[in-house]
Amino acid sequence: MHQFTLAEIARGLADKQFSAEELTRSLLARIAQLDPQLNSFITVTEDLALSQAKAADARRAAGENGALLGAPIGHKDLFCTQDVLTSCGSKILTGFKAPYNATVVEKLAAAGAVTLGKLNMDEFAMGSANESSHYGAVKNPWDLTRVPGGSSGGSAAAVAARLLPAATGTDTGGSIRQPAALTNLTGIKPTYGRVSRWGMIAYASSLDQGGPLARTAEDCALMLQTMAGFDTKDSTSVDQPVDDYLAALSQPLNGLRIGLPKEYFGAGLDARIGEKMMAVVEELKKLGATVKEISLPNMQHAIPAYYVIAPAEASSNLSRFDGVRFGYRCENPVNLEDLYKRSRGEGFGAEVKRRIMVGTYALSAGYYDAYYLKAQKIRRLIKNDFVAAFNDVDVILGPTTPNLAWKLGEKNNDPVAAYLEDIYTITANLAGIPGLSMPAGFVDGLPVGVQLLAPYFQEGRLLNVAHQYQQVTDWHTQAPAGF
């Protein structure tokens, strides 16, 4: 049963081939057996999962037949989950059990999804390798000596290893798409404001967006259909109807205009990954697409702009973690200042401290105009590049990552090298447009991902292109040895 996709699970439950409880018990046993190799879970919610599975079976027995009713999933551990540890992968949230559900958690639970647990992540979503977690690094199931990508690496590793069919993630600068690429999954970052951020603990509020990771575009469509929508509790949520993503999957690609940015295929890209991109282009041309070269001239400024804006917002968002109201508190503080300093100093890891300090510096008097304001102006230029490009093309195609999954610990002493792994993904967050990564083959036995970008609220188009590609290829069906 662990090989079933979400769509196959929906059909199996509807046909009474197995029950939600049987499926849940099977996957819980698999997690207990295999996750010690991966470290993809922070918390396994066995009692919650079994109670939700039994409730789903009862709803099906009463005549309900929803696509996610009884489907097992996991949540990245920054989605607040009532009465369950919500840690953000950080020591500073030790013992914090959320008093409420995030909107995404609430929506999926209402649809009947079964929560198997909370998944490991880079601390406060800050990282590209899932090595900064207080709970230890996550391993890539394709090669246990390599990183799975981050910050949603726990979600990606668990789905890739068939511990569950789908999981939630968040994407601030590529944290859904990059781990999807490095673990042979499909992952989509929706348009900013498409999925509610309420109850999703913030890293950078103007960049964060929740989305699904799964093995197929069809499964991502099933998840996103439930996750998306307006939320009055989230002031950044957009009040716009949600498209029928499942209906969009079957549309032919005749006449689809694909843009290839010349900036994506220059220095810094592993040539073998570039070859895989061209192979994807040839398959899409066979399906009726046309291709042209385009330019995104301000992409070269994306990394410095992002690593000013995101840390600046993080320094503000993380000021609430002070040892006073919840989470970790230092022992025997002598006064309030000592409580703040030692609780934060002991509770935050090195990467989080680094970004808080960079962000505080960028926002400080005398530097705000020189750094933060200038980065926001570059952000507008990047958005304008995409708006201009989408006048000529329907989707933009390129590599998700410049390199293959690297060895654990390889970039720990060179944060900038890790930051550069986000070069192709962060522009979508800066502009707020949707992006998707899907499997595109293998190099030296390691997965390669291809990224698709589309205009605002065109998630259906991305899922359509990915689904049509997956109908004529089988990369997405490949599983790592031993899992």
Q: Where are the alpha helices (DSSP H) in 228-332?
A: 245-248, 271-286, 302-317
Neighbours of 367 (CB within 10 A): 14
Say whether 90 is catalytic. no
Active site residue 315: no
**Residue 15 neighbours by CB under 8 Å, 6+ apart:** none
Q: Could you give the CA distance from residue 194 to residue 229 in angstroms, rounded to a whole number?
A: 6
Helix (H) or strand (E) holding 76: strand 72-76
**CA nearest 9: which of 158, 166, 156, 157?**
166
Q: What is the largest CA-CA distance in the chain?
A: 70
> Measured between alpha carbons, how far apart are the two ends of the chain, in Å?
13
Task: Give the C-alpha separation, 146 to 51, whole Å.
Answer: 36
Contact in structure between 101 and 334 (CB atoms under 8 Å) = no
Marked catalytic residue, from 76, 189, 276, 411:
76
The encoded tokens of residue 159 equal: 């789905």
Q: Exactly one of 19, 175, 196, 315 is catalytic; name it.
A: 175
Active site residue 26: no
Q: Are 157 and 183 in contact (CB under 8 A)?
A: yes
Catalytic residue of the set 19, 40, 151, 155:
151
Please answer whether residues 224 and 190 qualify as being in contact, where contact means their C-beta atoms are separated by less than 8 angstroms.
Answer: yes
Tokens 């899907």, residue located: 438
Do residues 183 and 140 make contact, with C-beta atoms less than 8 angstroms apart? yes
Alpha helices in 348-438 (DSSP H): 350-363, 374-389, 415-419, 426-431
CB count within 10 Å of CB 440 equals 25
Q: Is the peptide bond before 151 cis (omega within 30 degrees of 0)?
A: yes
Residues known to be catalytic? 76, 151, 175
